[in-house]
Amino acid sequence: MEEKERQKDVRELEYQKLDEEISLGEKSAESDEKERGLYVELKFSEFHFGKIKGEPHGCLQVTGESIIIPLKDPDNRGETLSLTVVQSELRRYGVWQRSPVGDGSEACTLIFLWVSEAQAQLIQKELSPVYPVEQAAKASEFVLLKLCAKEDEQHCKRLGKLMGWRDGSSELLDPLSQSEGLSLLRRFERNSPLLSVLKQCEAQRAEPEDHRPQSGHTRHSPASPQRPNSQGNKLPSFRLILYPPPPSKGGIAVTSEDLECLDNGEFLNDVIIDFYLKYLMLEKAPKEVTGRAHVFSSFFYKQLTRKDTPNEEMANISAQHRRHHRVKTWTRHIDIFTKDFLFVPVNQKAHWYLAVICFPWLEELRHEGWKDRSSQKMSLVTRQHLSQVTFKGLLLLPNGNNSEVNLQKFPECTQKTCQRDKVCRRPCILIMDSLKLSSHDRTVKLLQEYLQVEWEVRRGTPREFTSQVEGCHCSVPLQNNSSDCGIYLLQYVESFLQDPVVHFDFPLLLEQWFPRQEVNRKRDEIRDLVLQLYSQQTEHRAT
Protein backbone atom coordinates (compact mmCIF):
# COMPACT_ATOMS: atom_id res chain seq x y z
CA MET A 1 0.00 0.00 0.00
CA GLU A 2 2.82 2.40 0.85
CA GLU A 3 4.50 1.64 -2.47
CA LYS A 4 1.27 2.41 -4.36
CA GLU A 5 0.91 5.70 -2.50
CA ARG A 6 4.51 6.57 -3.30
CA GLN A 7 3.97 5.83 -7.00
CA LYS A 8 0.82 7.96 -6.97
CA ASP A 9 2.69 10.87 -5.40
CA VAL A 10 5.46 10.55 -7.99
CA ARG A 11 2.90 10.54 -10.79
CA GLU A 12 1.15 13.63 -9.40
CA LEU A 13 4.49 15.44 -9.18
CA GLU A 14 5.21 14.52 -12.80
CA TYR A 15 1.85 15.89 -13.92
CA GLN A 16 2.44 19.08 -11.93
CA LYS A 17 5.84 19.48 -13.53
CA LEU A 18 4.35 18.92 -16.98
CA ASP A 19 1.72 21.61 -16.32
CA GLU A 20 4.36 24.05 -15.15
CA GLU A 21 6.72 23.39 -18.04
CA ILE A 22 3.99 23.78 -20.63
CA SER A 23 2.50 26.85 -18.96
CA LEU A 24 5.72 28.72 -18.22
CA GLY A 25 7.05 28.16 -21.72
CA GLU A 26 10.57 27.33 -20.57
CA LYS A 27 12.23 26.80 -23.91
CA SER A 28 15.87 27.41 -24.80
CA ALA A 29 16.47 30.32 -27.16
CA GLU A 30 19.06 28.18 -28.89
CA SER A 31 16.61 25.50 -29.97
CA ASP A 32 16.74 24.34 -33.56
CA GLU A 33 13.10 25.21 -34.13
CA LYS A 34 13.62 28.81 -33.10
CA GLU A 35 16.69 29.09 -35.29
CA ARG A 36 14.65 27.91 -38.25
CA GLY A 37 11.86 30.38 -37.38
CA LEU A 38 9.35 27.57 -36.69
CA TYR A 39 8.72 28.51 -33.08
CA VAL A 40 7.70 31.83 -31.54
CA GLU A 41 7.21 32.79 -27.89
CA LEU A 42 5.25 35.96 -27.14
CA LYS A 43 4.31 37.71 -23.92
CA PHE A 44 0.61 38.44 -23.77
CA SER A 45 -1.55 40.34 -21.29
CA GLU A 46 -5.14 39.32 -22.05
CA PHE A 47 -7.09 36.32 -23.32
CA HIS A 48 -10.71 36.72 -24.45
CA PHE A 49 -13.13 33.88 -25.26
CA GLY A 50 -16.87 34.53 -25.11
CA LYS A 51 -17.53 36.13 -21.70
CA ILE A 52 -14.23 34.91 -20.28
CA LYS A 53 -11.25 37.19 -19.83
CA GLY A 54 -8.12 35.36 -18.75
CA GLU A 55 -4.66 36.35 -17.57
CA PRO A 56 -1.41 34.74 -18.72
CA HIS A 57 0.66 32.21 -16.82
CA GLY A 58 3.69 32.32 -19.07
CA CYS A 59 4.31 33.01 -22.74
CA LEU A 60 2.10 32.31 -25.73
CA GLN A 61 3.79 29.63 -27.84
CA VAL A 62 3.16 29.40 -31.59
CA THR A 63 4.46 26.58 -33.79
CA GLY A 64 3.48 25.26 -37.18
CA GLU A 65 1.37 22.61 -35.39
CA SER A 66 -0.35 24.44 -32.54
CA ILE A 67 -0.85 27.56 -30.45
CA ILE A 68 -0.36 27.03 -26.69
CA ILE A 69 -2.10 29.52 -24.36
CA PRO A 70 -1.13 29.22 -20.64
CA LEU A 71 -3.64 30.81 -18.25
CA LYS A 72 -3.78 31.62 -14.53
CA ASP A 73 -6.41 30.48 -12.08
CA PRO A 74 -8.55 33.60 -11.48
CA ASP A 75 -9.19 32.59 -7.85
CA ASN A 76 -5.51 31.96 -7.05
CA ARG A 77 -6.14 28.34 -6.06
CA GLY A 78 -2.82 27.32 -7.53
CA GLU A 79 -4.37 25.71 -10.61
CA THR A 80 -3.06 26.47 -14.08
CA LEU A 81 -4.48 25.74 -17.48
CA SER A 82 -2.80 25.29 -20.84
CA LEU A 83 -5.10 25.61 -23.85
CA THR A 84 -4.05 24.17 -27.19
CA VAL A 85 -5.39 25.42 -30.51
CA VAL A 86 -4.43 22.95 -33.21
CA GLN A 87 -3.44 24.77 -36.39
CA SER A 88 -5.50 22.45 -38.60
CA GLU A 89 -8.59 23.61 -36.64
CA LEU A 90 -7.87 27.27 -37.37
CA ARG A 91 -10.34 28.62 -39.91
CA ARG A 92 -8.98 32.16 -40.24
CA TYR A 93 -6.70 34.44 -38.25
CA GLY A 94 -5.66 38.08 -38.02
CA VAL A 95 -2.57 39.83 -36.66
CA TRP A 96 -3.44 43.48 -36.05
CA GLN A 97 -1.43 46.42 -34.79
CA ARG A 98 -2.76 49.02 -32.38
CA SER A 99 -0.87 52.30 -32.33
CA PRO A 100 -0.52 54.52 -29.20
CA VAL A 101 -3.06 57.34 -28.89
CA GLY A 102 -3.56 60.39 -26.71
CA ASP A 103 -5.75 58.59 -24.14
CA GLY A 104 -2.72 56.80 -22.75
CA SER A 105 -3.30 53.53 -24.59
CA GLU A 106 -0.06 51.77 -25.37
CA ALA A 107 0.90 50.24 -28.68
CA CYS A 108 0.22 46.51 -28.87
CA THR A 109 -0.49 43.63 -31.22
CA LEU A 110 -3.81 41.75 -31.30
CA ILE A 111 -4.13 38.14 -32.46
CA PHE A 112 -7.61 37.13 -33.63
CA LEU A 113 -8.44 33.43 -34.10
CA TRP A 114 -11.52 31.92 -35.72
CA VAL A 115 -11.52 28.23 -34.83
CA SER A 116 -13.61 25.22 -35.81
CA GLU A 117 -16.73 24.14 -33.93
CA ALA A 118 -14.90 21.14 -32.48
CA GLN A 119 -11.97 23.28 -31.28
CA ALA A 120 -14.36 25.83 -29.76
CA GLN A 121 -16.15 23.12 -27.78
CA LEU A 122 -12.82 21.78 -26.55
CA ILE A 123 -11.70 25.25 -25.35
CA GLN A 124 -15.00 25.74 -23.50
CA LYS A 125 -14.69 22.29 -21.91
CA GLU A 126 -11.11 22.88 -20.76
CA LEU A 127 -11.92 26.33 -19.35
CA SER A 128 -14.95 25.18 -17.36
CA PRO A 129 -13.16 23.91 -14.20
CA VAL A 130 -11.01 27.03 -13.83
CA TYR A 131 -13.49 29.59 -15.16
CA PRO A 132 -16.86 28.27 -13.90
CA VAL A 133 -18.94 31.00 -15.53
CA GLU A 134 -22.26 30.25 -17.17
CA GLN A 135 -21.35 28.46 -20.38
CA ALA A 136 -23.19 29.19 -23.59
CA ALA A 137 -25.11 26.38 -25.28
CA LYS A 138 -22.87 26.94 -28.30
CA ALA A 139 -19.21 27.64 -27.63
CA SER A 140 -17.79 30.83 -29.12
CA GLU A 141 -15.62 30.19 -32.16
CA PHE A 142 -13.53 33.34 -31.67
CA VAL A 143 -10.45 33.95 -29.53
CA LEU A 144 -8.69 37.28 -29.02
CA LEU A 145 -5.19 37.64 -27.55
CA LYS A 146 -3.61 40.94 -26.62
CA LEU A 147 0.18 40.93 -26.67
CA CYS A 148 2.19 42.99 -24.20
CA ALA A 149 3.92 45.05 -26.86
CA LYS A 150 3.67 46.02 -30.48
CA GLU A 151 5.64 43.42 -32.41
CA ASP A 152 8.01 44.52 -35.14
CA GLU A 153 7.29 43.92 -38.83
CA GLN A 154 9.57 40.90 -39.16
CA HIS A 155 8.17 39.19 -36.07
CA CYS A 156 4.61 39.65 -37.29
CA LYS A 157 5.42 38.20 -40.69
CA ARG A 158 6.95 35.14 -39.03
CA LEU A 159 3.90 34.83 -36.79
CA GLY A 160 1.53 35.08 -39.76
CA LYS A 161 3.55 32.51 -41.66
CA LEU A 162 3.34 30.02 -38.77
CA MET A 163 -0.44 30.40 -38.50
CA GLY A 164 -0.97 30.46 -42.26
CA TRP A 165 0.91 27.41 -43.48
CA ARG A 166 -0.80 24.04 -43.69
CA ASP A 167 0.93 20.67 -43.92
CA GLY A 168 0.96 19.33 -47.45
CA SER A 169 -0.11 22.65 -48.99
CA SER A 170 1.95 25.15 -50.94
CA GLU A 171 -0.56 27.89 -50.22
CA LEU A 172 -1.24 30.12 -47.24
CA LEU A 173 -4.35 30.57 -45.16
CA ASP A 174 -5.68 34.01 -46.03
CA PRO A 175 -5.42 36.39 -43.03
CA LEU A 176 -8.21 38.73 -41.95
CA SER A 177 -8.11 42.48 -41.62
CA GLN A 178 -9.60 43.96 -38.45
CA SER A 179 -12.71 45.14 -40.31
CA GLU A 180 -13.20 41.60 -41.68
CA GLY A 181 -12.86 40.20 -38.16
CA LEU A 182 -15.53 42.59 -36.88
CA SER A 183 -17.81 41.61 -39.75
CA LEU A 184 -17.44 37.94 -38.88
CA LEU A 185 -18.31 38.60 -35.24
CA ARG A 186 -21.36 40.64 -36.16
CA ARG A 187 -22.54 37.91 -38.54
CA PHE A 188 -22.07 34.86 -36.29
CA GLU A 189 -22.06 36.22 -32.70
CA ARG A 190 -23.98 39.44 -32.71
CA ASN A 191 -23.80 39.85 -28.93
CA SER A 192 -20.19 38.74 -28.50
CA PRO A 193 -18.26 40.62 -25.76
CA LEU A 194 -15.33 40.66 -28.21
CA LEU A 195 -17.16 43.28 -30.26
CA SER A 196 -16.78 45.89 -27.53
CA VAL A 197 -13.13 44.94 -27.03
CA LEU A 198 -12.36 45.32 -30.72
CA LYS A 199 -14.39 48.50 -31.11
CA GLN A 200 -12.12 50.12 -28.56
CA CYS A 201 -9.22 49.36 -30.85
CA GLU A 202 -10.95 50.07 -34.14
CA ALA A 203 -10.27 53.80 -34.09
CA GLN A 204 -6.55 53.17 -33.62
CA ARG A 205 -6.09 50.55 -36.28
CA ALA A 206 -4.28 51.30 -39.51
CA GLU A 207 -5.24 49.01 -42.38
CA PRO A 208 -1.80 49.17 -44.04
CA GLU A 209 -0.32 47.70 -40.85
CA ASP A 210 -2.26 44.44 -41.20
CA HIS A 211 0.47 41.88 -41.71
CA ARG A 212 -0.23 39.46 -44.48
CA PRO A 213 2.22 36.64 -45.30
CA GLN A 214 4.22 37.39 -48.40
CA SER A 215 3.41 34.69 -50.92
CA GLY A 216 2.25 34.37 -54.45
CA HIS A 217 -0.66 32.23 -53.27
CA THR A 218 -3.39 32.53 -50.69
CA ARG A 219 -5.74 29.81 -49.62
CA HIS A 220 -9.20 30.25 -48.20
CA SER A 221 -10.05 28.07 -45.27
CA PRO A 222 -12.88 25.52 -45.39
CA ALA A 223 -15.07 28.07 -43.60
CA SER A 224 -14.51 30.78 -46.21
CA PRO A 225 -17.30 31.79 -48.61
CA GLN A 226 -18.34 28.91 -50.79
CA ARG A 227 -19.22 28.29 -54.39
CA PRO A 228 -19.94 31.25 -56.72
CA ASN A 229 -23.47 32.27 -57.59
CA SER A 230 -24.72 32.96 -61.11
CA GLN A 231 -22.87 36.29 -61.14
CA GLY A 232 -19.59 34.58 -60.17
CA ASN A 233 -19.58 36.03 -56.63
CA LYS A 234 -18.95 33.90 -53.55
CA LEU A 235 -21.97 33.30 -51.34
CA PRO A 236 -21.41 33.67 -47.56
CA SER A 237 -22.02 30.72 -45.28
CA PHE A 238 -24.72 31.07 -42.63
CA ARG A 239 -25.85 28.94 -39.70
CA LEU A 240 -28.77 26.65 -40.33
CA ILE A 241 -29.23 24.84 -37.02
CA LEU A 242 -27.80 24.37 -33.56
CA TYR A 243 -28.22 20.77 -32.41
CA PRO A 244 -29.30 20.07 -29.78
CA PRO A 245 -30.90 23.52 -29.44
CA PRO A 246 -30.80 25.58 -26.22
CA PRO A 247 -31.18 25.14 -23.32
CA SER A 248 -29.17 21.96 -24.00
CA LYS A 249 -25.42 22.45 -23.79
CA GLY A 250 -22.79 21.39 -26.29
CA GLY A 251 -24.86 22.22 -29.37
CA ILE A 252 -23.26 21.69 -32.78
CA ALA A 253 -23.76 24.46 -35.34
CA VAL A 254 -24.40 23.25 -38.88
CA THR A 255 -23.97 25.87 -41.59
CA SER A 256 -25.08 26.10 -45.21
CA GLU A 257 -21.49 25.33 -46.19
CA ASP A 258 -21.45 22.15 -44.08
CA LEU A 259 -24.56 21.03 -45.94
CA GLU A 260 -22.66 21.18 -49.23
CA CYS A 261 -20.35 18.35 -48.20
CA LEU A 262 -23.41 16.08 -48.41
CA ASP A 263 -23.39 16.46 -52.19
CA ASN A 264 -22.39 13.32 -54.08
CA GLY A 265 -18.63 13.01 -54.46
CA GLU A 266 -17.83 15.34 -51.54
CA PHE A 267 -16.00 14.29 -48.36
CA LEU A 268 -17.91 14.67 -45.10
CA ASN A 269 -16.43 17.21 -42.69
CA ASP A 270 -16.14 16.92 -38.92
CA VAL A 271 -19.29 19.01 -38.31
CA ILE A 272 -21.57 16.61 -40.19
CA ILE A 273 -19.86 13.62 -38.57
CA ASP A 274 -20.31 15.02 -35.05
CA PHE A 275 -23.85 16.25 -35.73
CA TYR A 276 -25.17 12.92 -36.96
CA LEU A 277 -23.42 10.93 -34.24
CA LYS A 278 -25.00 13.17 -31.62
CA TYR A 279 -28.39 12.78 -33.32
CA LEU A 280 -28.04 9.00 -33.21
CA MET A 281 -27.22 9.05 -29.51
CA LEU A 282 -29.94 11.51 -28.53
CA GLU A 283 -32.86 10.49 -30.73
CA LYS A 284 -32.50 7.61 -33.16
CA ALA A 285 -30.70 4.75 -31.42
CA PRO A 286 -32.36 2.52 -28.77
CA LYS A 287 -31.91 3.94 -25.27
CA GLU A 288 -30.90 0.56 -23.84
CA VAL A 289 -27.85 0.66 -26.12
CA THR A 290 -26.96 4.37 -25.94
CA GLY A 291 -26.95 4.14 -22.15
CA ARG A 292 -24.08 1.65 -22.46
CA ALA A 293 -22.20 3.69 -25.06
CA HIS A 294 -20.16 6.88 -25.39
CA VAL A 295 -19.24 8.68 -28.61
CA PHE A 296 -16.10 10.78 -28.70
CA SER A 297 -15.96 13.91 -30.81
CA SER A 298 -14.20 13.63 -34.16
CA PHE A 299 -11.63 16.00 -32.68
CA PHE A 300 -10.67 13.65 -29.82
CA TYR A 301 -8.30 11.37 -31.73
CA LYS A 302 -6.78 14.32 -33.57
CA GLN A 303 -6.01 16.03 -30.25
CA LEU A 304 -4.73 12.80 -28.69
CA THR A 305 -2.27 12.12 -31.50
CA ARG A 306 -1.10 15.58 -32.54
CA LYS A 307 2.63 16.29 -32.48
CA ASP A 308 4.25 17.33 -29.20
CA THR A 309 5.01 21.00 -28.75
CA PRO A 310 8.67 21.79 -27.99
CA ASN A 311 7.90 22.15 -24.27
CA GLU A 312 5.98 18.88 -24.16
CA GLU A 313 8.97 17.11 -25.69
CA MET A 314 11.16 18.45 -22.88
CA ALA A 315 8.80 17.28 -20.12
CA ASN A 316 10.16 14.42 -18.01
CA ILE A 317 7.17 12.18 -18.60
CA SER A 318 6.36 9.32 -20.95
CA ALA A 319 4.84 9.93 -24.39
CA GLN A 320 1.61 8.13 -23.48
CA HIS A 321 1.18 10.32 -20.40
CA ARG A 322 1.82 13.44 -22.49
CA ARG A 323 -0.84 12.35 -24.98
CA HIS A 324 -3.33 11.60 -22.22
CA HIS A 325 -2.61 14.98 -20.65
CA ARG A 326 -3.91 16.72 -23.79
CA VAL A 327 -7.34 15.11 -23.52
CA LYS A 328 -7.65 14.53 -19.78
CA THR A 329 -10.56 16.98 -19.51
CA TRP A 330 -12.63 15.16 -22.14
CA THR A 331 -13.76 12.55 -19.62
CA ARG A 332 -14.10 14.82 -16.59
CA HIS A 333 -17.84 14.19 -16.38
CA ILE A 334 -17.92 10.58 -17.56
CA ASP A 335 -16.28 7.35 -16.43
CA ILE A 336 -15.63 5.47 -19.66
CA PHE A 337 -15.00 2.27 -17.70
CA THR A 338 -18.71 2.09 -16.88
CA LYS A 339 -19.53 1.86 -20.61
CA ASP A 340 -19.56 -1.19 -22.88
CA PHE A 341 -18.85 0.63 -26.15
CA LEU A 342 -16.72 3.69 -26.91
CA PHE A 343 -16.90 5.02 -30.48
CA VAL A 344 -13.83 6.91 -31.74
CA PRO A 345 -14.07 8.54 -35.19
CA VAL A 346 -10.61 8.72 -36.80
CA ASN A 347 -9.53 10.90 -39.70
CA GLN A 348 -6.09 10.28 -41.16
CA LYS A 349 -4.91 11.81 -44.43
CA ALA A 350 -8.46 12.85 -45.37
CA HIS A 351 -9.81 9.32 -44.78
CA TRP A 352 -12.42 8.49 -42.14
CA TYR A 353 -12.65 5.18 -40.30
CA LEU A 354 -14.04 3.98 -36.98
CA ALA A 355 -12.51 2.47 -33.85
CA VAL A 356 -14.88 0.86 -31.33
CA ILE A 357 -13.48 0.14 -27.87
CA CYS A 358 -15.54 -2.70 -26.40
CA PHE A 359 -15.85 -3.58 -22.70
CA PRO A 360 -12.88 -1.49 -21.46
CA TRP A 361 -13.82 -2.46 -17.90
CA LEU A 362 -13.41 -6.17 -18.64
CA GLU A 363 -9.97 -7.68 -18.06
CA GLU A 364 -10.35 -11.07 -19.75
CA LEU A 365 -12.51 -13.05 -22.14
CA ARG A 366 -15.79 -14.15 -20.58
CA HIS A 367 -18.49 -16.61 -21.73
CA GLU A 368 -22.08 -16.07 -20.69
CA GLY A 369 -25.56 -17.26 -21.58
CA TRP A 370 -27.41 -15.58 -24.44
CA LYS A 371 -31.18 -15.34 -24.07
CA ASP A 372 -32.11 -12.28 -26.13
CA ARG A 373 -35.45 -13.08 -27.78
CA SER A 374 -35.05 -10.42 -30.51
CA SER A 375 -32.59 -12.73 -32.25
CA GLN A 376 -35.37 -15.29 -32.69
CA LYS A 377 -37.46 -12.69 -34.48
CA MET A 378 -34.53 -11.85 -36.70
CA SER A 379 -33.96 -15.50 -37.51
CA LEU A 380 -37.33 -15.58 -39.27
CA VAL A 381 -36.40 -12.49 -41.28
CA THR A 382 -33.06 -14.10 -42.09
CA ARG A 383 -34.78 -17.27 -43.32
CA GLN A 384 -37.11 -15.16 -45.46
CA HIS A 385 -34.12 -13.44 -47.03
CA LEU A 386 -32.33 -16.71 -47.62
CA SER A 387 -35.41 -18.19 -49.26
CA GLN A 388 -35.21 -15.44 -51.88
CA VAL A 389 -31.70 -16.39 -52.90
CA THR A 390 -31.53 -18.42 -56.09
CA PHE A 391 -29.15 -21.27 -56.72
CA LYS A 392 -26.82 -18.73 -58.39
CA GLY A 393 -26.50 -16.72 -55.19
CA LEU A 394 -28.52 -13.77 -56.48
CA LEU A 395 -30.67 -11.98 -53.92
CA LEU A 396 -33.92 -10.95 -55.60
CA LEU A 397 -35.14 -7.61 -54.28
CA PRO A 398 -38.66 -6.19 -54.80
CA ASN A 399 -37.38 -3.13 -56.67
CA GLY A 400 -35.50 -5.27 -59.18
CA ASN A 401 -32.05 -4.15 -58.01
CA ASN A 402 -30.69 -7.64 -57.45
CA SER A 403 -27.39 -8.04 -55.60
CA GLU A 404 -24.83 -10.74 -54.93
CA VAL A 405 -24.83 -12.24 -51.42
CA ASN A 406 -22.16 -14.40 -49.81
CA LEU A 407 -24.19 -16.68 -47.58
CA GLN A 408 -21.13 -17.79 -45.61
CA LYS A 409 -20.52 -14.21 -44.46
CA PHE A 410 -24.02 -13.31 -43.32
CA PRO A 411 -23.63 -11.90 -39.74
CA GLU A 412 -24.11 -14.41 -36.94
CA CYS A 413 -22.60 -12.35 -34.15
CA THR A 414 -25.05 -9.44 -33.71
CA GLN A 415 -28.01 -9.04 -31.41
CA LYS A 416 -30.54 -9.69 -34.18
CA THR A 417 -28.74 -12.63 -35.79
CA CYS A 418 -26.97 -14.54 -33.03
CA GLN A 419 -28.49 -17.99 -32.50
CA ARG A 420 -26.05 -19.25 -29.86
CA ASP A 421 -26.90 -20.35 -26.35
CA LYS A 422 -23.65 -18.83 -25.10
CA VAL A 423 -21.67 -15.83 -26.32
CA CYS A 424 -18.23 -14.54 -25.49
CA ARG A 425 -17.28 -11.03 -24.49
CA ARG A 426 -13.77 -9.66 -24.45
CA PRO A 427 -12.08 -6.30 -24.04
CA CYS A 428 -11.07 -5.30 -27.56
CA ILE A 429 -10.70 -2.51 -30.10
CA LEU A 430 -12.60 -3.09 -33.33
CA ILE A 431 -11.43 -1.31 -36.48
CA MET A 432 -14.06 -0.67 -39.15
CA ASP A 433 -12.54 0.74 -42.31
CA SER A 434 -14.54 0.96 -45.54
CA LEU A 435 -11.47 1.30 -47.72
CA LYS A 436 -8.35 -0.24 -46.19
CA LEU A 437 -7.91 -3.85 -45.19
CA SER A 438 -4.97 -3.10 -42.90
CA SER A 439 -5.13 -3.64 -39.14
CA HIS A 440 -4.23 -0.07 -38.12
CA ASP A 441 -1.81 -1.33 -35.47
CA ARG A 442 -0.65 2.14 -34.50
CA THR A 443 -4.21 3.36 -33.90
CA VAL A 444 -4.89 0.33 -31.69
CA LYS A 445 -1.66 0.87 -29.77
CA LEU A 446 -2.33 4.56 -29.13
CA LEU A 447 -5.85 3.82 -27.87
CA GLN A 448 -4.54 1.03 -25.64
CA GLU A 449 -2.04 3.44 -24.11
CA TYR A 450 -4.74 6.07 -23.63
CA LEU A 451 -6.94 3.55 -21.80
CA GLN A 452 -4.02 2.49 -19.62
CA VAL A 453 -3.32 6.02 -18.38
CA GLU A 454 -7.03 6.81 -18.02
CA TRP A 455 -7.40 3.68 -15.85
CA GLU A 456 -4.48 4.82 -13.66
CA VAL A 457 -6.08 8.24 -13.22
CA ARG A 458 -9.60 6.88 -12.61
CA ARG A 459 -8.85 3.74 -10.61
CA GLY A 460 -5.51 4.62 -9.07
CA THR A 461 -4.05 1.22 -9.94
CA PRO A 462 -1.90 0.00 -12.85
CA ARG A 463 -3.35 -2.20 -15.57
CA GLU A 464 -1.75 -3.63 -18.72
CA PHE A 465 -4.09 -2.81 -21.60
CA THR A 466 -1.62 -3.65 -24.36
CA SER A 467 -1.87 -7.38 -23.67
CA GLN A 468 -5.45 -7.44 -22.34
CA VAL A 469 -7.22 -5.43 -25.05
CA GLU A 470 -6.85 -7.04 -28.45
CA GLY A 471 -7.26 -5.24 -31.76
CA CYS A 472 -9.43 -6.69 -34.51
CA HIS A 473 -10.02 -5.52 -38.07
CA CYS A 474 -13.65 -6.35 -38.86
CA SER A 475 -14.89 -7.53 -42.24
CA VAL A 476 -17.43 -4.82 -43.00
CA PRO A 477 -19.26 -3.49 -46.08
CA LEU A 478 -16.79 -1.54 -48.24
CA GLN A 479 -17.23 1.65 -50.23
CA ASN A 480 -17.13 1.48 -54.02
CA ASN A 481 -15.86 5.03 -54.59
CA SER A 482 -13.27 7.43 -53.18
CA SER A 483 -15.54 9.79 -51.24
CA ASP A 484 -17.95 7.81 -49.04
CA CYS A 485 -15.64 6.89 -46.14
CA GLY A 486 -17.40 9.35 -43.80
CA ILE A 487 -20.82 8.04 -44.81
CA TYR A 488 -19.71 4.49 -44.06
CA LEU A 489 -18.33 5.53 -40.67
CA LEU A 490 -21.74 6.94 -39.75
CA GLN A 491 -23.47 3.80 -40.99
CA TYR A 492 -21.13 1.58 -38.96
CA VAL A 493 -22.05 3.49 -35.79
CA GLU A 494 -25.75 3.48 -36.62
CA SER A 495 -25.78 -0.24 -37.40
CA PHE A 496 -23.82 -1.02 -34.23
CA LEU A 497 -26.28 0.95 -32.09
CA GLN A 498 -29.29 -0.62 -33.82
CA ASP A 499 -27.86 -4.15 -33.97
CA PRO A 500 -24.80 -4.37 -31.69
CA VAL A 501 -22.25 -7.17 -31.82
CA VAL A 502 -22.89 -9.60 -28.97
CA HIS A 503 -20.56 -12.50 -29.79
CA PHE A 504 -16.90 -11.45 -29.95
CA ASP A 505 -15.33 -14.51 -31.49
CA PHE A 506 -12.75 -13.26 -33.98
CA PRO A 507 -12.75 -12.65 -36.84
CA LEU A 508 -15.98 -10.67 -36.94
CA LEU A 509 -17.71 -11.15 -40.29
CA LEU A 510 -20.07 -8.26 -40.91
CA GLU A 511 -19.97 -7.90 -44.71
CA GLN A 512 -23.77 -8.18 -44.94
CA TRP A 513 -24.47 -6.00 -41.90
CA PHE A 514 -26.41 -3.55 -44.04
CA PRO A 515 -27.19 -3.22 -47.78
CA ARG A 516 -25.35 -0.75 -49.99
CA GLN A 517 -28.67 0.92 -50.83
CA GLU A 518 -28.93 2.07 -47.21
CA VAL A 519 -25.59 3.85 -47.50
CA ASN A 520 -26.50 5.34 -50.88
CA ARG A 521 -29.51 7.02 -49.27
CA LYS A 522 -27.61 8.36 -46.28
CA ARG A 523 -26.48 11.69 -47.76
CA ASP A 524 -30.04 12.63 -48.71
CA GLU A 525 -31.36 11.44 -45.34
CA ILE A 526 -28.93 13.60 -43.40
CA ARG A 527 -29.57 16.62 -45.62
CA ASP A 528 -33.34 16.20 -45.19
CA LEU A 529 -32.84 15.88 -41.42
CA VAL A 530 -30.84 19.13 -41.24
CA LEU A 531 -33.43 20.99 -43.31
CA GLN A 532 -36.27 19.59 -41.21
CA LEU A 533 -34.54 20.75 -38.01
CA TYR A 534 -33.87 24.11 -39.65
CA SER A 535 -37.57 24.52 -40.38
CA GLN A 536 -38.48 23.56 -36.81
CA GLN A 537 -35.94 25.88 -35.21
CA THR A 538 -36.92 28.75 -37.54
CA GLU A 539 -40.58 28.36 -36.56
CA HIS A 540 -39.61 28.22 -32.88
CA ARG A 541 -37.62 31.46 -33.13
CA ALA A 542 -40.53 33.12 -34.92
CA THR A 543 -42.86 32.33 -32.02
> What residues in the chain have per-residue pLDDT under 50?
21-37, 101-103, 167-172, 203-234, 373-408
pLDDT in tens, 48-73: 998 888 888 888 888 777 888 888 88
Cβ(112)–Cβ(94) below 8 Å: yes
How confident is the model at residue 274, as a pLDDT? 95
How confident is the model at residue 5, as a pLDDT? 60
Q: Report the CATH architecture of 239-308+317-370+409-542.
A: 2-Layer Sandwich (3.30)
Catalytic residues, by residue number, are 351, 433, 485
Cβ(346)–Cβ(305) below 8 Å: no
Sign of CA dihedral 182, 187, 189, 193: positive
How confident is the model at residue 342, as a pLDDT? 97
How confident is the model at residue 119, as a pLDDT? 84
pLDDT in tens, 457-508: 999 999 999 999 999 999 999 999 889 999 999 999 999 999 999 999 998 9
Long-range contacts of 512-517 (CB under 8 A, 24+ apart): 512/405, 512/406, 512/409, 512/410, 512/411, 512/477, 513/411, 513/414, 513/476, 513/477, 514/477, 515/403, 516/403, 516/477, 516/480, 517/401
How confident is the model at residue 58, as a pLDDT? 85
Which H or E run contains 318?
Answer: none
Coil, helix or strand for 534? helix
Please tell me the distance from the alpha carbon of residue 529 to that of residue 259, in angstroms, as a whole number.
11
What is the residue extent of each domain of the chain? 36-200, 239-308+317-370+409-542
Closest CA to 65 of 87, 42, 82: 87
